[in-house]
Structure 1
């Protein structure tokens, strides 16, 4: 009888795991489809909420509702989505960028992006950990979201810093708050800043959080501003891979310094290969060898992969730890937002 029970457990184990995997993936897929639909509604289009943002919000609501009691039945698929599908989504994100875009922008556009990304990340870490006494993971996630490309950067940085789901949600929330604010602020500032259309486009692209928010802010002025803003933003997104590699190296050295690694010879550097593949995919995209229809199909798949990852993060996010953190993450994000608006203007004015 005992042998029979053991045999039953062994035989049933794959089925249980497979069921949890399938149900979890289907659940986050349904949320991503719903979020994509919501993002096309006039109300959400006007305020610039992307499917990624909506997906994590829907996920958080569901994950903190009574439905959460059955989370164990879909846990395997949800965890798979927020790890494996996330990395696949980041890799395919490289299909949005070409090396030609960097050449078109000129050295000054690249210079502005480099200064913005580096300075915001450094200030985020110093202010977050020293002034606001936040943990380094939350500080870096908020810094990455502000410095590079919003929610997508937060998602891509999460595997490197190994942050908990609620910390990712906090960082995404700050991106939504100040990124949405920037969409209305920048067009209102345009007549008073004395920048050329090209320089103002660089200003928007180098400092606004999300790609969708850059498009919204740029087109609110005119097409020339929008074109310059989008190219500048894409170059900024291109800096995601080297930033992740640098963060991985720094964190490995930090771990080695405090004795977390078994070896004392070298830091345990973990290379985020998905970031390397992101650059490889960008290079392939630059060759223009992918048929347009297939390229568009891959972009659609990428949108859903990232959306599913955000939904999974939302489902795994519990609000209690977020409330316990208080307003410190928002204050950090506010400081970074002011830095982007003021410092970005100064840089754009100098190169414009």
Structure 2
């Protein structure tokens, strides 16, 4: 018995060591892209345009993925796969370190109501227009809607496991966020200055901040658009944006239940899946078909712990930096596994959907914020 046990132990250790070695090349590649993306994002030209490390990482990843990645794919695939699955989920959980429940009090109930109405209306509009008018598949409509209505690329990544999305679907949705979020970074401050000169609407800095925070896609883009007017506008915009981000967890749970009931999304095949969902469980009972996004619940739990103000500032800083690294690595991995031909195959329809949603966010968001 003891002889059998001792003979198994080295074998088990060897297996773990072999698996670990297989992960190293891909993790190093994603890490290198992350390092470059963070350095570029810190440069004034990129930061002034609201281009975050996440956005830059997927661009670099796609450039490498569509050129030289084929030569190293066999050795790097395992680590790249880990980055876009496990590290992604851990990154979403740690995203809670950026938020507290006190943010809701700071914003006020009218601000929370604006965020909720903007989120719900934008996502519903995305589903109606995307599937019924533009004829997009459900996965693309869901991801573009999530990215536009909540928090850009992070929302797209978090929604992908629930929607059983492919890497190509995710890349298309992220691309729309990058395009129109960047446009918004310039458009919102320009409109504020035009309105200030022409006095079309009463638009104080606080209202402008709420408008930006409740409608602009990415957190970095919100900061850039707010700072272009004033520090106080930026502060209000960030708080509104953080409350909107906090709605990600209940959104994912509701979406999962809705998809399970209506069975409106056909799961991706194992080869296509961006996040490891492969089972077609349409014959299971409703509760068994609901994909519980445990990482979203972890996100809420971390937010709750952060709200208690018991995390030392040093640990909070390290955790936030680690979160940036994890999410950026996930975006790098996504770019590496995305082929331009697949994005081209998606056509102009996802971009058109994102354009309509962007116009809705700008117009309806301004009306709603001014009215309330």
TM-score with structure 2 setting the length: 0.88
Contact 1:63 1:314 in 2 (8 A): yes
Contact 2:50 2:223 in 1 (8 A): no
Contact 2:50 2:222 in 1 (8 A): no
1:256 Cα shift?
Answer: 9.1
Contact 2:172 2:346 in 1 (8 A): no
Unaligned runs of 5+ in 1: 1-8
1:122-158 superposed Cα distances (whole Å, 9 cap, x missing partner): 1111111111111111111111111011111111111
**Mapped partners of 2:262, 2:158: distance in 1:** 20
Alignment-derived partner of residue 6 in structure 1: none
- Determine helix, strand or coil for the equivalent of 2:289: coil
- 2:65 equivalent to 1:58: no
- 2:186 equivalent to 1:184: yes
Residue of 237, 242, 246 corresponding to 1:229: 237
The number of equivalent residue pairs is 343
- 2:298 equivalent to 1:277: yes
Contact 2:163 2:265 in 1 (8 A): no
TM-score with structure 1 setting the length: 0.93
- 2:310 equivalent to 1:289: yes
**Mapped partners of 1:257, 1:317: distance in 2:** 21
1:43 Cα shift?
Answer: 2.0
Greater alpha carbon shift after TM alignment, 265-274 vs 330-339: 265-274
Contact 1:202 1:348 in 2 (8 A): yes
**Mapped partners of 2:264, 2:319: distance in 1:** 40
Off by >4 Å, runs of 4+ in structure 1? 9-16, 256-260, 264-267
Unaligned runs of 5+ in 2: 1-10, 196-200, 267-279
Evaluate the alpha carbon distance shift between residue 266 and residue 40 of structure 1 in structure 2; reply closer, same or farther with a 3 A threshold: closer
Show the 5 A alignment for 1:149-188: 149-188=151-190
Show the 5 A alignment for 1:250-329: 250-255=258-263, 260-264=281-285, 266=287, 268-329=289-350
- 2:248 equivalent to 1:240: yes
Evaluate the alpha carbon distance shift between residue 256 and residue 122 of structure 1 in structure 2; reply closer, same or farther with a 3 A threshold: closer
1:67 Cα shift?
Answer: 3.1
Contact 1:253 1:267 in 2 (8 A): no
1:18-58 superposed Cα distances (whole Å, 9 cap, x missing partner): 32211111110111011000111222122221000000111
